[in-house]
C-alpha cells in the first residue's frame, strides 16, 4: 500500500534549513494498522503530508496505493482518505451538505453521495446535528464529522493525523472504537500519527517510532517493549539490610539486569520479568531473604522511547532541546 | 468516477454558495453598498448632459466596482478555511486545483449579478438605458475578469498565511489605486498626462471601458476587444499564479 525510499523533507525557516524528515524508508502492506509515534516536531505529520500529496518531498520517492505521490498525485488522492489535525467541515456549512460535497468531490453521483452521507451520519451518531450549522457543533461532534468525511468514498487506505488531539477521554475511546471497527469490517489499511502512547499501544499492531525525522524503531508494541524495555520488578523486604544484600549479590538468574536498591525495596528491570518472578522468589527463599511483597510493572511505550532516545515522550509539549520543536504545526 | 474541470468547479461553487443562499441577509446588505454610491456619488459627477447621460457612464463602472470589492476579498474566506482545516481537506480530495480557485471566485460574482439587476432596475426610471444583449455580455466579461482577480486574491491569502492584517493591508493598498486609475468613479480624461498614461496600463481601465461600450449596445467597439483581451489576460495570469502558489504553499 505504501512504499517510500529515502523520503526527505527540508524546510527553510529564517534562512536556516530544518531537516524535518531525514530519509524515511517505510513499507506498509494492505490491511495493516500502523501508528507513527514520536514527540511533537519529530517529523510524523510532515511524513504524513508527503504521503497524502499535501507536501512535495525534497528528495526520495513514495508510492501510495500504487501511484507516485509526486508525478501521479491525483491518482493517489482518489484512493486515499485523510483526516487532518483540523476540522474539515466549513464553519458556515451544514454537516450533511459538507458530506455530500465531499462525496461529489470523490466522483460519487449526487444520489449516491446523499445516500452515503446518510449512512455515515447514522453510523457515527450524528443524526441530531447533521443539519445544524457546523460552528454550533461540539468538538467531539465535529471530529466525528471529520471521520465521516474521510470515509465518504470508502477509501482502502486511511490516514489520520493526530486524530484524538483535543478530545476528552470518552470521545477518544469512541474514536478508537470507530477506527477499530472500520478495520474489522472493511479491512481498511490505516496509518495514523499520534503522540499518545496509549493510543499507539491499544490501536496499532505496528508502531513506527520517529524521532528527529528518522525511524528509530519499527515493530509491534509487544516486541518494542520486550526488545527495548524490561519489566520492572519491585521486591520489598522486611529490612533494609536484606534489600541491600540482595542488590549487592543478586542471584545469577537476574544477572545483567538493571538493579536499583532503595530502602527496603529492590527494583529490577529485566525483559520477560513476569516469568522470572516465581523462580526468583524460590531462590531468595532458599537464601532466607524474606520477600514481603512483589510488584511487576509492564513497561510502557514511553519506557521504550526513553531507552531509545534518552528522553521521555511525556515531556513533549515543552520544547525539547535539539528538536525541531513545533515544526509539524508549521508544516 | 470520471470528473471534469467544469464538474469540479461546480462542486466548489455550489459549496461556497450554499451558506450565502441560506443567509440572505448578507446579500441584502451587499446590495445596499452600490446604492449608496449611486445616491451620494453620482450627483457629484460633472456631466455636460443630464442625469441619463451620467448614469449611462457611471452605472457600468459601479457594477464593476461592486464585483471588484467582492472578488478581491475572496481570499479572506479562504484564509479562514486554511486555519480550520477545511481547505486542507479539499486539497486532499481529487478536486482539480484550478477548480478550487474558479469555484470560489465565481461565487463572489453571484451577489454582483443581484447588485447589477438592482442597479439597473432603480436607474431605468432616471433614464439609464442598458442594451440587454450588451449587458449580458458585459456580465460574462466581468466573470472572466473576476476569476482572475479572485485567483490573485487567493494567492495573496496563501502568501500572507495566517496574518489577516497582511492580507487586508495589501488588498486595500492595491485596490484603490487600481480603482481610481481605471476611471471608474471619475473620468481620467481631464487628468494630467502621467495619470492618463498609467491608466492605459491598468487592465481594469479596459474592462471598465468595455463594460460601458457593451451597456451602450456598441458590441463591436474596439474598447470591447481591448476589454476582452485584458480580462482574459488577468484570468490567465491569475489562474497560473494561483494554481502554482497552491501547489507550493502546502509546504
In SS3 terms, A108-136 reads as CCHHHHHHHHHHHHHHCCCCCCCCCEHHH
Predicted local confidence at residue B249, as pLDDT: 60
The answer to whether the Cβ–Cβ distance between B94 and A82 falls below 8 Å is no
Does any domain span residue B204?
yes
Contacts of B11 in chain A (CB under 8 A): 101, 104-105
Distance from CA of B110 to the nearest CA of A (A): 18
- What would the CATH number be for the domain defined by A230-298? 3.30.70.100
**CB < 8 Å from B in window 57-76 of A:** 74
Question: CA A224 → CA A65, A228, A232, A308, distances in Å?
Answer: 27, 6, 15, 10
Interface test with B, best of A55, A88, A136, A151 (most B CBs within 10 A): A88
Residue B108: inside a domain, yes or no? yes
Query: What pLDDT shows up at residue A314?
Result: 66
Q: Residue B37 pairs with which residues in a beta bridge?
A: none
pLDDT at position A331 is 35
Chain B residues close to A85, C-beta within 8 Å: 85
> Residue A158: what pLDDT?
92
Give domain status of residue B169, yes or no. Answer: yes
Least confident range of A178-192, B9-23, B43-57, B63-77: B43-57
What pLDDT shows up at residue A19? 82
Residue B150 lies in a domain: yes
Q: What domain range includes position B201?
A: 5-35+70-249
pLDDT for position A229: 73
Range among A305-309, B137-141, B165-169 with highest mean pLDDT value: B137-141
* Calpha distance B251→B248 (Å, rounded): 6
Q: What pLDDT is attached to residue A325?
A: 36
**pLDDT of A199-247, one tens digit each?**
888 888 888 988 888 888 888 887 877 777 778 888 888 888 888 887 7
Q: Using pLDDT thresholds of 50, 70 and 90, give the confidence band for residue A34.
A: very high
User: Domains in chain B: how many in total?
Assistant: 1
Count of all residues that appear for chain A in the document: 331
**What does the pLDDT average to over B93-99?**
89
Q: Which pLDDT does position B49 carry in this prediction?
A: 67
Q: What are the backbone dihedrals phi and psi of residue A84, each rounded to the nearest 5 degrees, phi first?
A: -80, -175
CB < 8 Å from B in window 143-172 of A: 146, 149
Instruction: Sort out which chain A residues have CB atoms less than 8 A from B86's CB and list them.
Output: 86-91
DSSP symbol at B162: T
Q: Which of A181-185, A281-285, A317-321, B76-80 shows the lowest per-residue confidence on average (mean pLDDT)?
A: A317-321
Confidence (pLDDT) at A117: 92
* Domain contains B64: no
Examine residue B148 and state whether it is found in any structural domain, yes or no: yes
B-chain CB neighbours of A87 within 8 Å are 84-86
The domain spans of chain A are 2-225, 230-298
Cell of A269: 528491570
Q: Three-state DSSP class for B250?
A: coil
- Considering the domain boundaries, does residue B62 fall inside one? no
**Got the DSSP string for A182-206?**
HHHHH--EEEEEES-HHHHHHH-SE
**B24 inside 8 A of chain A by CB:** no
User: For residue B55, is it within any domain?
Assistant: no
CATH 3.20.20.150 fits A2-225, yes or no: no
- Residues A176 and A154: their CA atoms lie apart, in Å, by 18
Residue B14 pLDDT exceeds 90:
yes
Cβ neighbors of A234 (< 8 A, separation 6 or more) are A265, A266, A267, A268, A294, A295, A296, A297
Amino acid at each position: 500500500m505504501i512504499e517510500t525510499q529515502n523520503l526527505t523533507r527540508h524546510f527553510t525557516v529564517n534562512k536556516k534549513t530544518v531537516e524535518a524528515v531525514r530519509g524515511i524508508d517505510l513499507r506498509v502492506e494492505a490491511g495493516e494498522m500502523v501508528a507513527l509515534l514520536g514527540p511533537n516536531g519529530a517529523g510524523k505529520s510532515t511524513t504524513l503530508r508527503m504521503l497524502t500529496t499535501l507536501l512535495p518531498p525534497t528528495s526520495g520517492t513514495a508510492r501510495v496505493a500504487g501511484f507516485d505521490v509526486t508525478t501521479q498525485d491525483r491518482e493517489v488522492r482518489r484512493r486515499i482518505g485523510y483526516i487532518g489535525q483540523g476540522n474539515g467541515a466549513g464553519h458556515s456549512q451544514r454537516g450533511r451538505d459538507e458530506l455530500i460535497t465531499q462525496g461529489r468531490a470523490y466522483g460519487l453521483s449526487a444520489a449516491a453521495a446523499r445516500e452515503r452521507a446518510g449512512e455515515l451520519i447514522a453510523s457515527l451518531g450524528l443524526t441530531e446535528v447533521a443539519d445544524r450549522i457546523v460552528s454550533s457543533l461540539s468538538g467531539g461532534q465535529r471530529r466525528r464529522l471529520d471521520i465521516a468525511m474521510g470515509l465518504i468514498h470508502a477509501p482502502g487506505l486511511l490516514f489520520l493525523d493526530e486524530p484524538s488531539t483535543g478530545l476528552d477521554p470518552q470521545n477518544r475511546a469512541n474514536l478508537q472504537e470507530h477506527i477499530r471497527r472500520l478495520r474489522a469490517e472493511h479491512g481498511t489499511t490505516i496509518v495514523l500519527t499520534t503522540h499518545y502512547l496509549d493510543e499507539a499501544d491499544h490501536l496499532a499492531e505496528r508502531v513506527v517510532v520517529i524521532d528527529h525525522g528518522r525511524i528509530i524503531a519499527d515493530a509491534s508494541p509487544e516486541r518494542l517493549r520486550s526488545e527495548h524495555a524490561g519489566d520492572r520488578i519491585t521486591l520489598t523486604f522486611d529490612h533494609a539490610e536484606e534489600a541491600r544484600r540482595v542488590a549487592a549479590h543478586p542471584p545469577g538468574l537476574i544477572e545483567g539486569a538493571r538493579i536499583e536498591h532503595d530502602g527496603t525495596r529492590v527494583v529490577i528491570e529485566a525483559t520477560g520479568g513476569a516469568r522470572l518472578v516465581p523462580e526468583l522468589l524460590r531462590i531468595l527463599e532458599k537464601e532466607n531473604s524474606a520477600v514481603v511483597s512483589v510488584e511487576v510493572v509492564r513497561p510502557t511505550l514511553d519506557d521504550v522511547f526513553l531507552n531509545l532516545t534518552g528522553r521521555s515522550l511525556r515531556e513533549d509539549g515543552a520544547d525539547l532541546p535539539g528538536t525541531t520543536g513545533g515544526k509539524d504545526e508549521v508544516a | 468516477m470520471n470528473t471534469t474541470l467544469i464538474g469540479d468547479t461546480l462542486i466548489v461553487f455550489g459549496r461556497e454558495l450554499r451558506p450565502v443562499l441560506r443567509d440572505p441577509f448578507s446579500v441584502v446588505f451587499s446590495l445596499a453598498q452600490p446604492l449608496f454610491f449611486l445616491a451620494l456619488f453620482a450627483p457629484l459627477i460633472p456631466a455636460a448632459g443630464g442625469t441619463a447621460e451620467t448614469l449611462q457612464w457611471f452605472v457600468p463602472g459601479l457594477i464593476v466596482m461592486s464585483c471588484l470589492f467582492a472578488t478581491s476579498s475572496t481570499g479572506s474566506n479562504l484564509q479562514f478555511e486554511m486555519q480550520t482545516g477545511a481547505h486542507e481537506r479539499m486539497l486532499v480530495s481529487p478536486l482539480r486545483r484550478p477548480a478550487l480557485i474558479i469555484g470560489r471566485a465565481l461565487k463572489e460574482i453571484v451577489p454582483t449579478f443581484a447588485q447589477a439587476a438592482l442597479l439597473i432596475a432603480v436607474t431605468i426610471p432616471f433614464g439609464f438605458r442598458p442594451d440587454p444583449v450588451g449587458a449580458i455580455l458585459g456580465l460574462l466579461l466581468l466573470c472572466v475578469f473576476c476569476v482572475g482577480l479572485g485567483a490573485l486574491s487567493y494567492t495573496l491569502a496563501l502568501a500572507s498565511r495566517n496574518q489577516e492584517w497582511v492580507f487586508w493591508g495589501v488588498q486595500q493598498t492595491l485596490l484603490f489605486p487600481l480603482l481610481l486609475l481605471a476611471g471608474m468613479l471619475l473620468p481620467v480624461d481631464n487628468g494630467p498626462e502621467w495619470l492618463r498614461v498609467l491608466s492605459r496600463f491598468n487592465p481594469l481601465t479596459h474592462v471598465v471601458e468595455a463594460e460601458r461600450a457593451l451597456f451602450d449596445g456598441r458590441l463591436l467597439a474596439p474598447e470591447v476587444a481591448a476589454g476582452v483581451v485584458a480580462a482574459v489576460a488577468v484570468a490567465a495570469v491569475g489562474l497560473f499564479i494561483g494554481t502554482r502558489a497552491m501547489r507550493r504553499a502546502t509546504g
